[in-house]
A = this chain, B = another copy of it.
Amino acid sequence: MALIVQKFGGTSVGSPERILKVAERALRTKRDGHQVVLVVSAMGHTTDELLELMEKIAVRPNPRELDMLLSTGEQVSIALVASAISAIGGKGISLTGAQAGIRTEPLHTKAKIADIQTDRLRQLLADDHIPVVAGFQGITYNGEICTLGRGGSDTTAVALAAALKADMCEIYTDVSGVYTADPRVVPEARLLPEISYDEMLELASLGAQVLHPRSVEYAKQYNLFIRVRSTFDEGLGTVVKGVNELENQTPVRGVTADLNQAKVALKEVPDRPGVAARLFGALSDRGINVDMITQSVRGEQTNDIGFTVTKEELERAVQVTEEVGREVGAKGVVSDEDVAKVSIVGSGMVNHAGIAAKMFQALADGQINIQMISTSEIKVSCVISRSQAQQAVRLVHNAFHLGAPLPAVEAT
Contacts and interface: CB of A to CB of B under 8 A. Distances in A.
Contact of A50 (B61, B76, B143): B76
Interface stretch (A63-71, A305-313, A402-410): A63-71
B80 A62 contact: no
Interface in A10-33: 16, 19-20
Interface stretch (A82-90, A282-290, A337-345): A82-90
A99 B64 CA distance: 13
A78 interface: yes
Q: Which range holds the interface residue count of chain A?
A: 35 or more
A356 interface: no
A54 interface: yes
Contacts of A98: 143
B143 A99 contact: yes
A56 interface: yes
Interface string A140-182: 0001110000000000000000000000000000000000000
B57 A20 contact: yes
A58 interface: yes
Nearest to A60: B87
A53 interface: yes
Contacts of A390: none
Contacts of A144: 99
Contacts of A83: 54, 57-58, 61-62, 65, 69
The main secondary structure of chain A at its interface with chain B is helix
A357 interface: no
A107 interface: no
Contact of A57 (B75, B78, B80, B143): B80
A94 to B, nearest CB: 5
Contacts of A66: 79
Contacts of A79: 54, 65-66, 68-69
Given A76-B72, A79-B66, A98-B143, A53 B87 contact: no
B68 A78 contact: yes
A59 interface: yes
A66 B87 CA distance: 13
Residue among A62, A65, A82, A143 with the most chain B CB within 10 A? A65
Interface string A246-264: 0000000000000000000
A321 to B, nearest CB: 34
Residue among A16, A69, A93 with the most chain B CB within 10 A? A69
A94 B65 CA distance: 7
Contacts of A62: 82-83, 86
Given A59-B87, A65-B94, 7 more contacts: A16-B56, A57-B80, A62-B82, A68-B75, A68-B78, A68-B94, A99-B144
30 contacts: A16-B56, A16-B57, A19-B57, A20-B57, A50-B76, A53-B80, A54-B80, A57-B80, A57-B83, A57-B84, A57-B87, A58-B84, A58-B86, A58-B87, A59-B87, A61-B83, A62-B83, A62-B86, A64-B94, A65-B86, A65-B92, A68-B75, A68-B78, A68-B79, A68-B94, A69-B80, A69-B83, A71-B75, A75-B75, A99-B143
